[in-house]
Amino acid sequence: SPLSNLAVRDIETVLHPYTNLDKHRQTGPLVLERGKGIYVYDSTGKQYIEGMAGLWCTSLGYGNEELVEAAAEQMRRISFTHLFAGKSHDPAIELAEKLKAIAPNDASKVFFVSSGSEANDTQVKMIWYINNALGRPNKKKIISRHRGYHGVTIASASLTGLPANHADFDLPLPGILHTDAPHPYRSRQDGESDADLATRLADSLEAMILREGPETVAAFIAEPVMGAGGVIIPPATYYEKVQAVLARYDILYIDDEVICGFGRLGTMFGAEAFGIRPNSVSVAKALSSAYQPIGAVIVDEGMYQAMVEESRKIGTFGHGYTYSGHPVAAAVACKTLDIYERDNILGQVNRVSPTFLKRLTALGDHPLVGEARGMGLIGALEIVADKATRRSFDPKSAVAAKIAALAEEEGLIVRAAFGDIVALCPPLIISEDEIGEMFDRLTRALDRAEAWVSGQSLR
């Protein structure tokens, strides 16, 4: 069909993130105009279920008037002030108090940022800063994981463990290393139990630390459940074993809760679901249900004291963004956390999650689906050419991307993640009926994709 006026203007002007720029010139954008609840509407008025909560972030859905009002009220009061050089404002203070009260670490202080990437960039700089303070300037390496996603700034893209974020960017930075992902479907060896896999991965992490020299390794960073890397749910004992290794070599734990935080897995933080005891925590996205860009780094007392020590020596902590703790974003985040508590968002997630997981796992029988996995209200379908051997399609066939495109035609937004995986992450406010409608639309898209695969002889 001919491109709309908006689409033509987009092609002529907008340089899109994470987009095949060549293809975009032909296909143009999907222009979304408005939203209500779990639904969004494009510029032709067509309705979609936002099965990805935007980018894993709009937990309270769209059109929440309380959040609109919180933003407007703060803009009327004081639209901007900052936290530099000891200035402060009440939304930042209140939000820091709220985060401290619920954080999964022994929280001491909160540093505000505007995104997940900025949070993880800040984590890297804090780790370096702290180890200077502690008089061990060589202990600065950070271990992340293949398939982990931690953002796109120079340091956070280095932490990210996906090829697209490194190739052509001369990344990762030296001193940022990647160990294997805990991906049972893809990495369990013949006869290996989940517990054996967890042990093997912890052993290989330990071997990496010993190879590098424990005196050079400062921190480990992980998402409790990997999101963009394919919604990868680790074996139950994995983090316990990883933490035992880290403890042996005095290595800090950075917990990236940018997707898992605020109820996604049915616990306030993913750390609680897996027994993770982090030193430092990154949050963003659902912190404001994406009504405003805001994130935070929540550090423990030990990290805070080391930072105080170092700033005493050199005169300042030389890091921060103009919008660190933006008052409008902070006010909206405070209101978001109030709503999570008042409306018992955890109760809601745990009430509807069984229906979500039942419909999701039923798709494991579909000829295109090698594994259907999920937890809380996040899930994924791992697309395979051959269910018995787990053989993937040729990546050039981009079958998951085709499924996402067909789902869009069916009125459902899902996301094709790395490794031919279809990800699902609906707003947390989704009802059981809406879950049913979401999976009906997804099933129609999968059936059409199967017909397309057969028609093109892609197996």
* β-strands 107-113, 295-300 pairing: antiparallel
In the DSSP assignment, the letter for residue 188 is P
69-77, 110-118, 162-170, 205-213 -> range binding ligand PLP (CB under 6 A): 110-118
116-124, 266-274, 305-313, 398-406 -> range binding ligand PLP (CB under 6 A): 116-124
Contact criterion met (CB below 8 Å) for 107 and 300:
yes
Q: Of these, 50, 206, 223, 434, which contacts ligand PLP (CB under 6 A)?
A: 223
Q: Of these, 206, 256, 300, 371, which contacts ligand PLP (CB under 6 A)?
A: 256
Q: Position 231: which residue type?
A: V
For residue 49, which of 401, 423, 435, 411 has the smallest C-alpha distance? Answer: 411
> What does residue 342 show for φ and ψ, rounded to 5 degrees?
-60, -40
Q: Of these, 70, 177, 209, 258, which contacts ligand PLP (CB under 6 A)?
A: 258
The DSSP annotation for 137-160 comes to TT--EEEEETT----SSHHHHHH-
For the chain, the residue count is 459
Both tokens of 1, joined, read 């069909």
Taking CB under 6 A as the criterion, which residues in 265-284 touch ligand PLP?
284
Run of H or E including 309: helix 301-314
Q: Does 234 bind ligand PLP (CB under 6 A)?
A: no
- Which CB atom, from 120 or from 158, has the smaller least distance to ligand PLP? 120
Taking CB under 6 A as the criterion, which residues in 127-166 touch ligand PLP?
149-151
Answer positive or negative: Cα dihedral of 108, 114, 116, 118. Answer: negative
- Which CB atom, from 115 or from 353, has the smaller least distance to ligand PLP? 115
Smallest gap, in angstroms, from Cβ of residue 252 to ligand PLP?
A: 17
Would you report the helix, strand and coil content of the chain in percent, each value rounded to 5? 45, 15, 35
Smallest gap, in angstroms, from Cβ of residue 201 to ligand PLP?
A: 19
Taking CB under 6 A as the criterion, which residues in 15-74 touch ligand PLP?
55-56
For residue 224, which of 177, 278, 152 has the smallest C-alpha distance? Answer: 278
Q: What is the dihedral of CA 19, 20, 26, 29, to 10 degrees?
A: -10
x/- binding map, residues 69-108, to ligand PLP, per CB under 6 A?
Answer: ----------------------------------------
- Which CB atom, from 38 or from 286, has the smaller least distance to ligand PLP? 286
Q: Of these, 115, 179, 237, 324, which contacts ligand PLP (CB under 6 A)?
A: 115
40-48, 252-260, 306-314, 378-386 -> range binding ligand PLP (CB under 6 A): 252-260
Give the number of residues in contact with ligand PLP, rule: CB under 6 A: 16
4-12, 68-76, 221-229, 271-279 -> range binding ligand PLP (CB under 6 A): 221-229
CA pair distance 397, 458, nearest whole angstrom: 7
Site residues, ligand PLP (CB under 6 A): 55-56, 115-117, 120, 149-151, 223, 227-228, 256, 258-259, 284
